[in-house]
Structure 1
Amino acid sequence: MIGIGIDTGGTYTDAVVYDMDRKKILCSGKALTTKSELEKGITEALDMLEPDYVKKAELLALSTTLATNACLEDKGSRAKLLMIGMNPEAMGNLEAVYASYGFHDLSQLVFIDGKPEHIFQEPEEPDWEALKRRIPKEFRNCAAAGVVQIYPQADGGKLEKKAKAILEDQIKIPVTTAYDMFDELDVLKRGAGTLLNARLIPLIAEFLAAVKHVMKDRGLDIPIAIMRSDGSLMSEGMAKDYPVETLLSGPAASVVGGSVMAKTSDAVIVDMGGTTTDVALIRGRQPVTAEKGISIGKWRTTVHGLYVDTFLLGGDSAVRFNDKGMFLDLRRVIPISLLAQRHPEVTVKLRGLAEQHRSHTRMLSEFYVLQKDIGRGEGYTREERRICSALKKAPLMAEELAERLGTDIYGLRTERLEAEGVLMRSGLTPTDMMVVKGDFPVYSPDAALAAIEFLAENVPEEAEEIPEKIYRLVEKKLYCNIVRILLKQKYPGKEKVINKKSVQELIEWSYEDAVNGKKGDWISLPVRSELPIVGVGAPIHIFLPRVARLLGTEAIINENASVANAVGAIASQIVTKVQLHVKAEYDGAELKGYSVYEGSEQRMFAEYPEAEKLALKLAEQQVLDKSRRQGASGSPQVKISVKKLRLTEDESSVFFESIVEAVATDQFQISAGGSRSADGCS
């Protein structure tokens, strides 16, 4: 069977045609991602594929880093979370508690009553009429909303469902309920995942619409599957409702694609893109999974997925300076070489700046670039609309933009426009250094060279030394993060120690010793690992081999490494998991029986075998139902395991509960798409 895999990253969109039976890449394509017009990158990548193969395709599988990047850069659509039964005043340091879960902007939270005394008590009914009166003001200008209630196990999430109906009736926007997605008891973790889901709904909807538009133009009527954070596929409909499941879609695809290409049982997989670098691990040919839910950027969620450590380092990381010299900022910018190709006047302006030999505390060589037109859209200030209007014709430097607005560069208020993706900056990046050094000869180096001349006025290095210095900064950050991740694997539970500044400095010292080859000194600190490092992503071949040598291991970089994510998307399958619990119920020290929840109903049994029998039956039913919603073909293989938790490992010790887990594995349902004609087109 022939399938197409497409990965839309922050910088590039990759496409492959894959023979799913022979596990062979037949052809591939790569194009730039245009965030304001996703169809463009998808179209260009798809049109690089052999047309005859495309016509024979029976499945289109997608992966994307759009959700990953949105979380790391704290971007996304405007959304709010309705929290039922929470008492924020009773939580002590409210801001610190909520910030630890990712809620740094408390204005995104709306609180109403409805709190039960304990987990199994029916919650109080909130004042629904009061909520209706608050909605127009509280949720004004929101593109989506989320709802979470405390202790939903007591009533099967009834209050969440009622609140969702009211919100959808009054403001006509997508509303996500936590109960439909998460089993976690921690209400703030469930809330974080729910708010993220709401923020991502418009983003993923736009992505899927772009894909379907391109397919329609080419007469393709085949089912669409999307890569989840756990490395399995789900249906298009499920992705629209639960886009938070794509939180690590791109990184998960790199794990699957990297493992397909690596042909090794144990490895570190490093995927460097334009915005982020994702590091994952393979043990015994199986990806290592995250035990406590995904944490990404500032967000702690209950989304289950593969273990992927994502940090902001990529070809498009901003090169900036401060009083300590050059550094790689956490912000992604458009490479100045790329901007100059689209707007030749950029090079002229940068040459003029370089000729002035100015030093400054800011990167005056950066440009503001309009990504989408807000027109007279609601929710934006007059100043924000003036900024967008000034940038409509062409990108402008900060001083140019400030002059147009009648202010200075310190008076520019672009933070919210940048956070929402309306504006982006363009400046020097590692990609530009690759262009200057001839490692990525796609663009002219003239604009980058002029921007480097300005930078050289503000740092100790000479202009000709800067490209190599930036290479070493990328290499150092890559080395230090790989060491940090491997230390966490070697010493589980010691994350707080490993993340301390002093330990991070020690890792940096080990890098310096490895680079300088220090031996015979008082002490040397180079780190060694026997795990091979599999490289994925377009720029990885430039930086990874040297990092691997510094770590005393080898780098494996397949010839198709630059499109590994697209391979991972189409090479994956449906994997569905469901967990149920059989709990021992005690009254003091006296065992009263065993409970199993069937929906919102608590079923009690005097004997354990009867309780486990029901749990096994329910787990199988639920996993089959969920796998069909996820897109399974209808005949998945189901495996059920039971893990008993006791006070000690002794069989006679006190029993607490059993975790019954059902796992269904299947291929994606091909017939679920549209009809096809004999020549492969509809």
Structure 2
Amino acid sequence: MELGLGIDTGGTYTDAVLIDLESNSIISKAKALTTRDDLSVGIRNSMKLFDRSLLKKVSMVSLSSTLATNSVVEGKGCRVGVISVGRDFDSSIVADESITISGGHDLNGAELNPLDIDSAEKFMNSIKSKVDSIAITSYLSVRNPEHELILKDLASKILNLPVVCGHELSSSLGFNERTITSVMNARLIPIIKELINSMKSAMVEYDINAPLMIVKGDGSLMNDEIAVERPVETVLSGPAASMIGAKTLTGLNDAIVMDMGGTTTDIGILRNGQPRLEKEGAMIGGKRTRVLAAEIYTSGIGGDSRIVVKGNKFSLTPLRVMPLCIATTKWPQLFPRLEEISKRCFFFNLESINVNNIVQDIEFFVKIKDIKDAPLSENDRKLLEYISNEPFSLSEAGASLNLHPFAFNVSKMEELGMIQRIGLTPTDILHAEGSYIEYDRKASEYGVKHQALKMNMLPEEFISFAKEKVIEKISEELLKKLFLENIGTFELDKVSKALVDRVVSGSSDDFSCSISLNLPIIGIGAPVSAYYPLMSEKLNAKLFLPEYSEVGNAIGAVTGSVIEQVEILIKPVSGSRIIDDPNCTLFATFGKYEYETWSKAVEDGKTLGCEYVKRRALKSGARNVDINIVQDDREYTVGMEYSDSKILMETVLTITAIGKPNQFFVEEA
């Protein structure tokens, strides 16, 4: 029996699963809290729950992680030097050192201007010890990469640092998008290296001698060596892994996949067994990139979403907080304070106060980290010092520091990741109900009791009400995703919103509204059995909640395939399109080639493309590689009276190599 170990580090939990790679049957599963300050701790904590003798039989390890996505969004990473050739890059792209030099090519791959090698060499010598990696991006390098390749060779000799070229990451047009992708990739290299080294250290600790694979944003796999070269491709790997896991668990090729985690609910669509991909490249940190990734709609509703009662009004906000049930297991001293608060008269909130600024008695704060030169007031620094060792509410802190609870800018400190808020969440609602219990149920019950008093409800009434609000929210978010998929927008006018509200709430006056989904829903995540059945009833959809759905991401991480793809463009030389077999130019990531005939260009394109993707797939850790070729001849018909006359505009070859990962470090051609 050959075992695979899949690990997914999510916003709240790190999931792990041992799976029989031959039958895809689950042998064992485990969960541990994700340790955001050091992901390796959460990984080790999940692995130690397995039988150690089984871990020794593991022949492949695969990891999906939020690390790359979070690092990009939070602006983390190493120092990057950027060399821009032929054009200035967008000022929103942050670089530690940069230069723009002459060079670049046109759409036909012809050199626009000679490459200014002298300026590049002078720049490289000037940034020694000032940067940790180099990003090189040349105008229209996807049509001719020669200037990027020359500079890469020069940088390797002068700086001996990791070098990233734009054409290596994308074959699509878009200079700024390619530059953004290159800079992100260069910045992430040391972060991914650290994660991989931590994972390998854990593997040694548990006597696992097997290849390590990393999930890419499109759901496919690459080995650790390639992940260090192209770490930007690991963004959005968690949601992509959940889609592959959903397919593995159900066998469905066409379905809506809804992964409800602690921080978000990620919604994607499987078509023909594959995630639908972002055509233009993934949006990461608000910037369009050329990263091929699953087209995921992410909603800020999860098990750790903040529940706020303002006056007697209920709100479910996207802010992630630590559930009360988890917090009291880490800090038992919170328990008697929560018990006392649950009996207390509630604090009145003015209607004018924004829900994000509400101070709730059952919410506590604890310091996570310091940030040097953070823009904080003296009061904020006093609060940080006060909550450095254990959590306190703002009322408790204010009383001790002789300050009003509103004197602290906790929202700013949360944005900077300096403090962690603890409060009532949907996870607590399920704990208080007793339908899902992993931690301290009594703490959740105290939180529910306090909030129920504010709304003049009994605790069981509040639980039912809160669950319904969660179900309505995720139903609405799913409909938004389907509107976006089928109509191109999820912006609703007043009438549309009224109709959607009737669908998700079931309300009616003179008329009611219903909807039916033609695709089944696959639920992934720990709390889905509590919410998704009622959601599927509202939307008249068939629902699948497969066994082991709570670790679906980890299953997807270890059951994916290695996929490498190249797109080759063949264009007739200007003026020769009307010839039956015209002169052509071939443009590809691996170079530019001239041919006397279109037929020879296509023949060579297929040969060179197959060799290229197979080589990359093997390097990425694949075995028994299968190759698929799709040829798209784009032609123009000349007038109705000349309906038989067609002019060849271009040919696009899309060549894909697919293979399962190697096991036990065995190389197979």
TM-score, normalized by length of structure 2?
Answer: 0.84
User: How many angstroms does 1:319 deviate by?
Assistant: 2.1
Q: Which residue, 406, 419, 431 being the options, matches 2:427? A: 431
Cα deviations by residue, 1:5-51 (Å, 9 ceiling, x for unpaired): 22221111222221111221122222222222333332232233333
Q: Which amino acid aligns with 1:439?
A: S
- What's the counterpart of residue 84 of structure 2? 84
In structure 2, relative to structure 1, the CA distance for the partners of 1:39 and 1:78 (3 Å cut) is closer
Aligned residue number for residue 345 of structure 1: 333
Partner residue in 2 for 1:125: 116
Any idea what SS the aligned residue of 1:58 has? strand
- CA displacement, residues 177-198 of structure 1 (integer Å, 9 cap, x when unaligned): 4332122211222233334434
Structure 2 residue 558 is matched with structure 1 residue 570: yes
Match of 2:491 among 497, 500, 513: 500
Q: How far did residue 116 of structure 1 move?
A: 4.9
Q: 1:533 to 1:168 in 2, by over 3 A?
A: farther
Identity %: 25
Pick from 340, 365, 370: which aligns with 2:367? 370
Q: Deviations over 1:556-593 (max 9, x none)?
A: 11121111111112222212111111112315988773
Distance 1:161 1:413 in 2: 51
Which residue, 237, 247, 255 being the options, matches 1:267? 255
Equivalent of residue 173 in structure 2, options 180, 185, 210: 185
1:165-564 equivalent positions in 2, closer than 5 A: 176-295=164-283, 298-320=286-308, 325-351=313-339, 355=344, 357-360=346-349, 361=353, 362-364=358-360, 365-372=362-369, 390-398=386-394, 412=408, 418-419=414-415, 421-452=417-448, 455=451, 465-491=461-487, 495=488, 498-502=489-493, 506-507=496-497, 509-516=499-506, 518=508, 522-564=510-552
Distance 1:178 1:229 in 2: 18
Q: Kindly state the Cα deviation for residue 248 of structure 1 after the two structures are TM-superposed.
A: 2.2
- Contact map agreement 1:270 1:277 (CA 8 A) in 2: yes
Aligned letter for 1:629? K
Q: Taking structure 1 as reference, are residues 194 and 409 closer, same or farther at Cα in structure 2, changes over 3 Å only? A: farther
Q: Give the Cα separation in 2 of the matches to 1:392 and 1:673.
A: 50
After TM superposition, the structure 1 stretch with the greater mean CA deviation from structure 2, 542-551 or 459-468, is 459-468
Deviations 1:450-470 (A, max 9, x none): 445665687686766443333
Preserved CA contact (<8 Å) 2:142 2:588: no
Per the alignment, residue 11 of structure 1 pairs with 12
Q: Distance in 1 between matches of 2:621 and 2:345?
A: 61
Cα offset, 1:641, TM superposition:
2.3
Aligned residues: 645
SS of equivalent residue, structure 1 residue 672? coil
**SS of alignment partner, residue 171 of structure 2:** coil
CA distance in 2, matches of 1:341, 1:523: 49
CA positional deviation for 1:286: 4.1
- Shift in Å, 1:282: 2.6
CA distance in 2, matches of 1:276, 1:228: 19
Alignment-mate amino acid for residue 125 of structure 1: D
One-letter amino acid of the structure 2 residue matched with residue 152 of structure 1: S
- What is the CA–CA distance in structure 2 between the aligned matches of 1:480 and 1:458, rounded to whole Å? 27
1:65 CA drift (Å):
3.3
SS in structure 2 opposite 1:487?
helix
One-letter code aligned to 1:114? I
2:649 maps to what in 1?
A: 656
| Cα distance in structure 2, aligned partners of 1:311 and 1:42 | 26
- On the 8 A contact 2:308/2:314 being kept in 1, the answer is yes
Distance 1:166 1:575, change over 3 A: closer
Query: How many Å separate the matches in 2 of 1:169 and 1:353?
Result: 64
CA shift, 1:235, in A, is: 0.3
Q: Could you tell me how far apart the structure 2 residues matched to 1:152 and 1:403 are? A: 62
After TM superposition, give the deviation of residue 255 of structure 1 in Å: 1.1
Which residue is equivalent to 1:637? 626
Give the superposition deviation at 1:274: 1.0
Structure 1 residues 32 and 604, CA gap change in structure 2 (3 angstroms): same
Question: Do the aligned residues in 2 keep the contact of 1:545 with 1:554 (CA within 8 Å)?
Answer: no
TM-score using structure 1 length: 0.83
The whole-number CA distance in structure 2 between the counterparts of 1:275 and 1:228 is 21
Q: Give the Cα–Cα distance (whole angstroms) in 1 for the partners of residues 411 and 637 of structure 2.
A: 54
Q: Report the aligned-residue RMSD.
A: 3.9
Report if aligned partners of 1:5, 1:60 keep a CA contact under 8 Å in 2: yes
Deviation at 1:431, TM superposition (A): 0.9
1:388-443 Cα offsets, whole Å, 9 max, x none, are 65443223334556788887655646667645645332222111111121122233
For the structure 1 residues 289 and 151, does the alpha-carbon distance in structure 2 shift closer, same or farther, using more than 3 Å as the test?
closer
Q: Which residue of 2 aligns with 1:610?
A: 600
Q: Does 1:28 align with 2:29?
A: yes
For residues 617 and 233 of structure 1, do their structure 2 counterparts lie closer, same or farther at Cα, with a shift above 3 Å needed?
A: same
Q: Equivalent residue for 1:597?
A: 587
Secondary structure at the counterpart of residue 670 of structure 1: coil
Could you say what secondary structure the match of 1:305 adopts? coil
**3-state SS of 1:434 partner:** helix
1:446, CA displacement in angstroms?
Answer: 4.2
2:611 is equivalent to residue 621 of structure 1:
yes
Alpha-carbon distance change, 2 to 129 in structure 1, aligned in 2, over 3 angstroms: closer
Distance in 1 (CA, whole Å) between partners of 2:185 and 2:412 is: 20
Counterpart AA for 1:547: M
Shift of residue 654, structure 1, vs aligned partner: 2.2
1:508-551 deviations in whole A, cap 9, x for unaligned? Answer: 64243454364xx6543322113221111101111111111111
- Residue segments in structure 1 that go unaligned for 5+ positions in a row: 675-682
Alignment partners' CA distance in 2, 1:282 and 1:367: 41
**Structure 1's 583 and 185: CA in aligned 2 closer, same or farther, altered over 3 A?**
same
Task: Report the alpha carbon displacement of residue 596 of structure 1 after superposing the two structures with TM.
Answer: 1.0
- Alignment match, 1:677: none
Residue 313 to residue 386, structure 1, CA distance change in 2 (3 Å)? same
The answer as to 2:153 corresponding to 1:156 is: no
Q: CA deviation at 1:385?
A: 7.9
Distance in 2 between the 1:230 and 1:57 partners? 25
Q: Give the deviation of 1:595 after TM superposition.
A: 0.2
Report the 3-state secondary structure (helix = DSSP H, G, I; strand = E; otherwise coil) of the residue aligned with 2:573: strand
- Residues of 1 paired with 2:527 and 2:441: CA distance? 17
**1:51 and 1:164 mapped to 2: Cα distance?**
46
Q: Contact 2:572–2:584 at 8 Å: present in 1 too?
A: yes
1:481-524 deviations in whole A, cap 9, x for unaligned? 21122233333xxx2xx332427x72564243454364xx6543
The whole-number CA distance in structure 2 between the counterparts of 1:273 and 1:660 is 39
Instruction: Return the alpha-carbon distance in structure 1 between the equivalents of residues 78 and 403 of structure 2.
Output: 28
Q: For the structure 1 residues 256 and 12, does the alpha-carbon distance in structure 2 shift closer, same or farther, using more than 3 Å as the test?
A: same
Structure 1 position 646 matched with structure 2 position 635? yes
